[in-house]
Amino acid sequence: MSSDDIEVQWRRRRWMSGCQGFAVLVVLLALGLFGWSRWSAWQAVQRQEERARESFEPVLDRIEQARAQQTQQADYDLDETVRVLHEIDATMASGGSLEEYLSTMALKDYRHVPAEVLQARAEVLEVLFQLYARQVEAEDQAATWALVKHMGPVLNVLMMSKLEVGGDAGLSIPLTGGGGSVQIAKAGIDQEGVRQVYEDWRGQQADHQRLLREVMEIEQQLIETLTAHARIYHRYLDEWGKLCDLRDRAYLAVNDGDWEAAAQAARAAIELAPHEREAHLLLALALIEGDTASPEDPDEAQRILDAYLDEHADASAPAYLLRGVMFAHRGDLKAARLDLEQAAVTYPKQAELLQDMLDPYRARSRTFLRKSREGNLVLALYKSSMLGAAWFSPDLQLARLAFEQGDVETGRKKVMDHFARRRAQGQWDLVIRDLQFCETFLQDDYQLILPERGWLDLEVEEAMLGSKLKVAVDNRSERSLHNASLVLCLHFTDMHPDDYETFAPRTEPVLAAHDITNFDDVEVLLDLGGDRKGVDDVATIRAVLVSNEAVAWVDTVTFKRDQAHRQREERMRQRAEQRWSPASRPQATENHLVDLSLASLDDGALLATSSDLGKDDVHIDLPYLVSVLAPVFRLQAGGQSYEVADNRIEQGRIRVRFDDVANFDDEGPTVIMLHADTRLTELVLTWTRAPSGEWGFQGATRSD
């Protein structure tokens, strides 16, 4: 073998040896990368498990602590149980992350929730923890949270379905992807219904194969846990539904002033749920207002309220209010003022908590409460008691005390304090009931706060673009009103006649006298029981004006005239009935405001006519005190009726003008009657023309 051949073979061996070494190196590198990848994946899982534990443990620990404190299964607050169960639905609907949801749930108070409910909730969270702890990819974590939100309806839509449908009807749960729904029988929440919702979610997660594999490992455990939780949930909802029926009955009896029936329903509710709040307050109200305490226990109302304050210090405002009214009835005005003032301090401080207590009522209102007059009454009375409105307003009750004692200035101040709180808290949906209380219980003293209220006109028109309303107020009085908040009260199609939705544009600094003030456009978009409502669906428009000086209804000229027409027709109907039954004819009721207005007319009600080409105008000048009746004027002359052309308050007098009535230079009518339609009565003012052409006032009569 030549030296050249030897060298070739040597080079070949060196090349092969190098290839083998490289191959070994590649294998070693691959093994290293594989090991590093597995180690990194293991580390990622460990880190994710630690993060998941940090998120889940506070909730599980809070639940376990509450469960350990449960001394007996029957010692629980049924309202609090339903509220806690319902919160998962509200929290999920907020659109936050799983971590945000768990943080919120970790702050909840579970002390008054039954142990079996807490155990069922903990088991659901344990299963979700197992699943979530394995997800290292952000997309898979999001998909896991999607599963929780997707299964939520199975656990939570039952909240209202129990009360919305009757008999053995099933519950239809909408699916989140692609439409459709799942039917679940009310009589028993079975695994098949839960599985259908679960299968719908799984069909949407084709891109998350790893997640799906891990879900399948605990699939049966997940479905069984959710089913057991839903069954427990449903059982307590049955009990809560019975409690709601009894309390609704008590609320309706309170509204009717049937204190015996209210007390009876409240006692039955308390027997069913000894730790609930509302029925205890309703029973105390019935005992106070109806004077229904038994001789054997004359102090029952105070005992109920004192016990309530001890047990529910975090929601004490309504009890302080009731106890203050109780002391006022007893004549202990010093104690009454102290409790009412305490309630005034406490309501704003507890507003967030008391507002949160409305959650189950919000759900009930979506399904059926707002579909009837009775349901609206229940909802309004509950919200009023919880948030300090109308009869339950400490400031309005203090105003009532002040007016009864003849302290008009303090009474007016307390009325304005109440509406300042209403504005600060933004609870405009209660403002209508506030006004109803003022008109019913404060009566003349309230009306005299702003005698010029009838000279404030609401002007509304649809904006050119969007679903908006252009809003303005025409102040025809000579009094400027400052810090003016306008609350639009809109009645939409398909709403119950007594129901309104409120919208509040930005507050204006001043409503200048004898000027029109424009407010910001109001966007009108509303989801009403699943129906989208806009400007085209508005049936009636009213407004409430809240200013530093006063609070009053503000209506359009058309609304005022229509209302006056309805009042006239009602009076005509009553007079027709009286003709058939003279014995039942009522005497004219005494009313301070009407008497005040009639007396002021003795000082002068002037009528003059202009001298124009063609028909002449009629000018009428009335005393300022007539304004307290907020009259709507119309003129009768020569067998014709005329609407007002101009009506304003100037220099302390009411100036009214009617255009083109008659040519008084050429005879014309010799008698002119001015009709002033008011909510209390109809005044008819009469003038006759003397041969000299002067008009003489003949006096005023009232329709009743």
613 phi and psi, to 5 degrees? -65, 130
In this predicted model, which residue has the larger pLDDT, 372 or 58?
58
Task: Give the mean model confidence (pLDDT) for residues 347-369.
Answer: 63
- Which residue in 257, 500, 532 sits closest to 379, CA to CA? 500
**Per-residue pLDDT tens digits for 605-638:** 899 988 777 789 999 999 999 999 999 999 999 8
| The pLDDT value given to residue 218 | 62
As a whole number of angstroms, the distance between CA 95 and CA 93 comes to 5
| The pLDDT value given to residue 513 | 96
Three-state SS for 36?
helix
- The single-letter DSSP state of residue 453 is G
Q: Sign of the CA dihedral 152, 155, 161, 166?
A: positive
| The pLDDT value given to residue 21 | 55
| The pLDDT value given to residue 163 | 36
| The pLDDT value given to residue 6 | 59
Place of tokens 């506030």: 434
In this predicted model, which residue has the larger pLDDT, 38 or 642?
642
Place of tokens 């079996």: 116
In this predicted model, which residue has the larger pLDDT, 327 or 6?
327
Instruction: State the pLDDT confidence band at 186, using cuts at 50, 70 and 90.
Output: very low
The residue count of the chain comes to 704
User: Do the strands 640-643 and 632-637 form a parallel or antiparallel pair, or are they unpaired?
Assistant: antiparallel
| The pLDDT value given to residue 509 | 96
| The pLDDT value given to residue 680 | 83
pLDDT higher than 80, residue 12: no
pLDDT higher than 80, residue 458: yes
As a whole number of angstroms, the distance between CA 593 and CA 679 comes to 11
| The pLDDT value given to residue 382 | 84
Instruction: State the pLDDT confidence band at 366, using cuts at 50, 70 and 90.
Output: low
**Per-residue pLDDT tens digits for 498-545:** 788 899 999 999 999 999 999 999 998 887 767 888 889 999 999 999
Q: Sign of the CA dihedral 334, 338, 343, 348?
A: positive
| The pLDDT value given to residue 74 | 55
| The pLDDT value given to residue 267 | 95
| The pLDDT value given to residue 34 | 46
| The pLDDT value given to residue 149 | 59
In this predicted model, which residue has the larger pLDDT, 145 or 601?
601
Tell me the percentage of the chain whose pLDDT exceeds 90.
36
566-572: long-range contacts, CB 8 A cutoff, minimum separation 24: 567/677, 567/678, 567/679, 567/682, 568/677, 568/682, 571/682, 571/703, 571/704
- Which residue in 91, 207, 85 sits closest to 142, CA to CA? 207
| The pLDDT value given to residue 176 | 38
In this predicted model, which residue has the larger pLDDT, 240 or 75?
240
pLDDT higher than 80, residue 181: no
In this predicted model, which residue has the larger pLDDT, 507 or 225?
507
pLDDT higher than 70, residue 589: no
In this predicted model, which residue has the larger pLDDT, 296 or 508?
508
As a whole number of angstroms, the distance between CA 355 and CA 663 comes to 64
| The pLDDT value given to residue 446 | 92
Alpha carbons within 13 A on the beta-carbon side of 113: 25
Structural domains of the chain sorted by starting position, each given as residue range(s) with its CATH number in brackets: 19-238 (no CATH), 278-449 (no CATH), 453-555 (2.60.40.10), 592-702 (2.60.40)
**Per-residue pLDDT tens digits for 553-566:** 999 999 999 988 88
Task: Give the mean model confidence (pLDDT) for residues 592-598.
Answer: 85
Query: Is 9 exposed, middle or buried, given 0-12, 13-18 or 19+ CB atoms closer than 10 A?
Result: exposed
Q: In this predicted structure, which of 62-71, 126-135, 153-162, 677-686 has the lowest mean pLDDT? A: 153-162
Tell me the percentage of the chain whose pLDDT exceeds 70.
71
- pTM for this structure? 0.76
pLDDT higher than 50, residue 184: no
| The pLDDT value given to residue 426 | 80
Task: Give the mean model confidence (pLDDT) for residues 638-656.
Answer: 93
Task: Give the mean model confidence (pLDDT) for residues 655-666.
Answer: 90
| The pLDDT value given to residue 250 | 92
Q: In this predicted structure, which of 569-573, 579-583, 597-601 has the lowest mean pLDDT? A: 579-583
Which DSSP string do the residues of 369-423 spell out, in sequence order?
GGGSHHHHHHHHHHHHHHHT-GGG-HHHHHHHHHHHTT-HHHHHHHHHHHHHHHH
CB 237 within 8 A of CB 207: no
Q: Which two three-digit tokens encode residue 624?
A: 């300022």
Task: Give the mean model confidence (pLDDT) for residues 409-416.
Answer: 95
Task: Give the mean model confidence (pLDDT) for residues 423-433.
Answer: 85
| The pLDDT value given to residue 169 | 41
Which DSSP string do the residues of 119-172 spell out, in sequence order?
HHHHHHHHHHHHHHTT--SHHHHHHHHHHHHHHHHHHHTHHHHHHHS-TT-EEE
pLDDT higher than 70, residue 117: yes
**Per-residue pLDDT tens digits for 121-179:** 777 777 777 766 665 555 555 666 666 655 554 454 443 344 333 334 444 434 333 44
Task: Give the mean model confidence (pLDDT) for residues 299-309.
Answer: 94
**Who's near 115: CB < 8 A, 6+ residues apart?**
67, 70, 73
In this predicted model, which residue has the larger pLDDT, 646 or 9?
646
In this predicted model, which residue has the larger pLDDT, 171 or 58?
58
As a whole number of angstroms, the distance between CA 165 and CA 376 comes to 19
Task: Give the mean model confidence (pLDDT) for residues 458-481.
Answer: 93
pLDDT higher than 60, residue 212: no
CB neighbour burial string for 100-126, b if at least 16 within 10 angstroms, e if fewer: ebbebbbebebebbbbbbbebbbbbbe
Three-state SS for 260?
helix
Average pLDDT value for the chain:
78
Place of tokens 């189950």: 360
CB neighbour burial string for 271-305, b if at least 16 within 10 angstroms, e if fewer: ebbebbbbbbbbbbbbbbbbebbeeeeeebbbebb
